[in-house]
Amino acid sequence: MDSAGARDACVIIGGGLAGLTAALSLAPKPAILLSKAPLGLEAASTLAQGGIAASLGPGDDLELHLADTLKAGDGLCDEEVARAILGSAPAAIEDLIKRGVAFDRDTKGALALGLEAAHSRRRILHAGGDSSGREIMRALTRLVRQTPSITVLEGATAEQLLIDGNCVTGVFAASNRGPMLFETACVVIATGGIGGLFQYSTNPAGSFGQGLALAAKAGALLADLEFIQFHPTALDGASFPLKLVSESVRGEGAILANETGERFMADVPGGELAPRDIVARAVWQQMAAGHRVFLDARNILGLDFPRRFPAIAGFCQAEGIDPVTQPIPVRPAVHYHMGGIAVDLAGRSSVEGLWACGEAACTGLHGANRLASNSLLEAAVCGQFVAESIKGTTRSVRRKGVRCDTNTTPSSDPVPVQKILSHAAGVLRNREILQAAAAELLPVALGRGKARDPALVGLMIVIAALRRQESRGAHTRTDFPCPAAHAERSFLRLDAAIAAARAIALETAA
Ligand SMILES: Cc1cc2nc3c(=O)[nH]c(=O)nc-3n(C[C@H](O)[C@H](O)[C@H](O)COP(=O)(O)OP(=O)(O)OC[C@H]3O[C@@H](n4cnc5c(N)ncnc54)[C@H](O)[C@@H]3O)c2cc1C
């Protein structure tokens, strides 16, 4: 095994927007960036279409953006955190522009602002039309490669954190150059989302919560795991990940209808632009009743679809659908995880020396449901916050008693978990199916097979979903259909999840 540690370097796991921002903001402090795939590939950041939210337009301000965020979060946002992150949006946009991101502009040269679901103002900055993430990642990847303080290791997958007491002392990674061990007192997890744990998802297949497993196994506290946002309008085609037909298409006026032409969102407040969980449930219920669902953008006055949405037009064409003349078949798919590694505003987890940012982290910004386009913003802002926090910290590696399970499985396979989790933790949940999933996942999570880490994360999600005996935001329990009078954020450690699952398994067997 190589000991690849530059001991004063910070190790950043994941090269999406959050990881790249953290690395750039840390400079000139040295950082080693581990990325499973070549930078830009296999990152949800690259797939983002709609854009990034910031209250920059006329008639808009922080209070309005905050109000929309809190409303979407359905009573569980941390208001102080939300105010700090949303208030940092203008500076984050400025930084992205300085780093070379070319946001779209109107004919007068001002930043063009789009509208998305549940935003009360036009505040979505986009780039390359609907290729916002690609453009942001293009600029940042280029800059990262030119920054001497950043060592990029592509093809390196973090498998385990080294822990001494409650302190991080290193990272063990599998790589195409063989196993690698990094001694470091400072690790940032920026591994993105969990969609790859499910059968239908818009996330890259490699996004299956490896960072959550790393943190959970190190004893870190995880938060709000039960809150998973389903995008209501993924293209119901043959590709995986499912292609996303962005909210912006509905923002421009596209309508949802089933195969009989019934516009089933017509009487729902907000219509097609109601919060995502409401739209996802409506589409799910249509499909459960045997209907097919379509997004119809054919009759939008003045919309040049291929010009405004070139990427969407392209992948629709690849599936044989022309959105100018045909309705687009859609279905709900796992899109975003509000939960993650519990962190404070500086990105610090409950384990000393372990920070997290981006989708893998849970700051409390999103509460029970994410407001569209707040996640790229959170990745950009919190990547910066994490770097500032690390710069203000002096930690050194303690050598004694380092715990490293080098029998760790060389690669993870989420496939055995996908069916169980999709059935139990989908758009609609109940006690019976969640308990059955916990009993089924437990032996996999305790085993030594390749599905162990995905099963650990799946198990924690299922236990969190069981414990929340109410329906709120993106979490819908058919056996508890109403929101509780009083609700709080949820926090969970791996040992508590395993103990709960053992009790369920015993109860089920009895
Ligand atoms: C199709 C789609 C469209 C979206 N559109 C928008 C939008 O318009 N606006 C918006 O705000 N949000 C959008 N989102 C959500 C947003 O893109 C993500 O929340 C955000 O980009 C997450 O950034 P990240 O840096 O945390 O993770 P990612 O960009 O997913 O990057 C994580 C990286 O970590 C790597 N990684 C994972 N595990 C390991 C490991 N063990 N070792 C090494 N590397 C690892 C992955 O390969 C990946 O490269 C969209 C998401 C999707 C899927």
Which of 239, 244, 359 maximizes ligand 1 atoms within 8 Å of its Cβ, making it the mutation to test the pocket? Answer: 359
Q: Is the pLDDT of residue 326 over 50?
A: yes
Contacts 24+ apart (CB under 8 A), 316-321: 316/235, 316/245, 319/235, 319/237, 319/238, 319/239
The reported pLDDT for the residue numbered 8 is: 74
Check if 201 has its Cβ closer than 6 Å to any atom of ligand 1. Answer: no
Q: Which of 38, 43, 67, 65 is nearest to 54 (CA)?
A: 65
Q: Is the pLDDT of residue 330 over 90?
A: yes
The reported pLDDT for the residue numbered 237 is: 87
Q: Per DSSP, which regions of 373-492 are E strands? A: 491-492
pLDDT band at 3 (very low <50, low <70, confident <90, very high): low
Q: Is the pLDDT of residue 359 over 80?
A: yes
- Ligand 1 closest atom vs CA 46: 29
In this prediction the pTM is 0.93
The reported pLDDT for the residue numbered 373 is: 94
From ligand 1's centre to the CA of 410, what distance in Å? 23
Atom 9, ligand 1: residue with shortest CA distance: 373
Distances (CA, A) of 323 to 299, 313, 329, 390: 10, 7, 10, 47
From ligand 1's centre to the CA of 349, what distance in Å? 19
The reported pLDDT for the residue numbered 79 is: 98
Q: Is the pLDDT of residue 406 over 70?
A: no
Check if 158 has its Cβ closer than 6 Å to any atom of ligand 1. Answer: yes
Q: Convert the pLDDT of each residue in 218-257 to its tens digit.
A: 999 999 999 999 999 999 988 889 998 988 899 899 999 9
Check if 339 has its Cβ closer than 6 Å to any atom of ligand 1. Answer: no
Q: Tell me what the mean pLDDT of segment 443-451 comes to.
A: 97
- Ligand 1 closest atom vs CA 173: 42
- Ligand 1 closest atom vs CA 126: 8
Which of 224 and 398 is assigned the larger pLDDT? Answer: 224
Which of 47, 198, 201, 386 maximizes ligand 1 atoms within 8 Å of its Cβ, making it the mutation to test the pocket? Answer: 47
The reported pLDDT for the residue numbered 400 is: 46
Q: Tell me what the mean pLDDT of segment 275-286 comes to.
A: 89
Check if 135 has its Cβ closer than 6 Å to any atom of ligand 1. Answer: no
CB 74 within 8 A of CB 483: yes
The reported pLDDT for the residue numbered 453 is: 98
* Active site amino acids: 276
Q: Is the pLDDT of residue 26 over 80?
A: yes
Q: Convert the pLDDT of each residue in 131-157 to its tens digit.
A: 899 999 999 999 999 999 999 999 999
Q: Convert the pLDDT of each residue in 97-129 to its tens digit.
A: 999 999 999 999 999 999 887 899 999 999 998
From ligand 1's centre to the CA of 484, what distance in Å? 32
CB 374 within 8 A of CB 69: yes
Per the prediction, the chain carries an average pLDDT of 93
- Ligand 1 closest atom vs CA 214: 41
Check if 376 has its Cβ closer than 6 Å to any atom of ligand 1. Answer: yes
CB 189 within 8 A of CB 13: yes
Q: Tell me what the mean pLDDT of segment 67-88 comes to.
A: 97
Q: Is the pLDDT of residue 342 over 50?
A: yes
pLDDT band at 64 (very low <50, low <70, confident <90, very high): very high
CB 181 within 8 A of CB 404: yes
Q: Is the pLDDT of residue 1 over 60?
A: no
The reported pLDDT for the residue numbered 82 is: 98
Residue 255 pairs with which residues in a beta bridge? Answer: 296
Check if 347 has its Cβ closer than 6 Å to any atom of ligand 1. Answer: no
Give percent of the chain above pLDDT 90. Answer: 85
Check if 454 has its Cβ closer than 6 Å to any atom of ligand 1. Answer: no
Check if 233 has its Cβ closer than 6 Å to any atom of ligand 1. Answer: no
- Ligand 1 closest atom vs CA 49: 8
Q: Which residues have CB under 8 Å from 502's CB, separation 6+?
A: 442
Q: Which of 276, 277, 301, 247 is nearest to 130 (CA)?
A: 247
pLDDT band at 397 (very low <50, low <70, confident <90, very high): low
Return the structure tokens found at 378: 């959170």
